[in-house]
Structure 1
């Protein structure tokens, strides 16, 4: 794993942990929502994380890209699935998604190494 992306993912985790500590009344219900929305059901957790990754790219949320890319990889997403997900984000988000899709691809390469 690239130290740069590894450090970036660790920083996301640290910020989320700090927010959970500072605002548990908000973050606990939010965490329950995330758990319910991402659980295997008609769509697998992997598909849901790939969807979240695509949305993250389209809305240009760097921390979200790292968070959902890692989650998709943990759910067993293959490189080709992530690349197709980036392509869908570009379709929906246009030029800015090309830039953030490139960032997602760089993170994939680093986190898969």
Structure 2
């Protein structure tokens, strides 16, 4: 097992208490942002959670993975659907590394000319 994801989600919620206590407006705004993204209704819950998990993987957010894996399970996401979404994340992340490698090469070249 790589991680205890249930504990990860519970620990994140517990760790959020001091921030919530010291900055309740920020927490309320964050919760409002999460609530607002479901209001349009153009995407169903399964699709939103598949996107959220793919983004969580590419941004390397363990707490996001835990929360959205739980929500995806509740929304009825299958292992096959999740596999397809994560395959897209893997392909995109590799593509991003390629494009940013080109940027690094370009930057290196520009500094050698300065």
TM-score in same-fold range (> 0.5): yes
Give the TM-score, by structure 2 length.
0.70
In structure 2, relative to structure 1, the CA distance for the partners of 1:94 and 1:75 (3 Å cut) is: same
Residue segments in structure 1 that go unaligned for 5+ positions in a row:
96-113
Give the TM-score, by structure 1 length.
0.71
Contact 1:49 1:68 in 2 (8 A): yes
Contact 1:20 1:27 in 2 (8 A): yes
Q: Distance in 2 between matches of 1:73 and 1:81?
A: 11
CA RMSD of aligned residues (A): 2.1
Contact 2:6 2:66 in 1 (8 A): no
Match of 2:77?
77
In structure 2, relative to structure 1, the CA distance for the partners of 1:93 and 1:28 (3 Å cut) is: same
SS in 1 for 2:9: helix
Q: Distance in 2 between matches of 1:89 and 1:74?
A: 21
Count of residue correspondences: 93
Match of 2:32?
32
In structure 2, relative to structure 1, the CA distance for the partners of 1:12 and 1:47 (3 Å cut) is: same
SS in 2 for 1:29: helix
Contact 2:54 2:88 in 1 (8 A): yes
In structure 2, relative to structure 1, the CA distance for the partners of 1:5 and 1:36 (3 Å cut) is: same
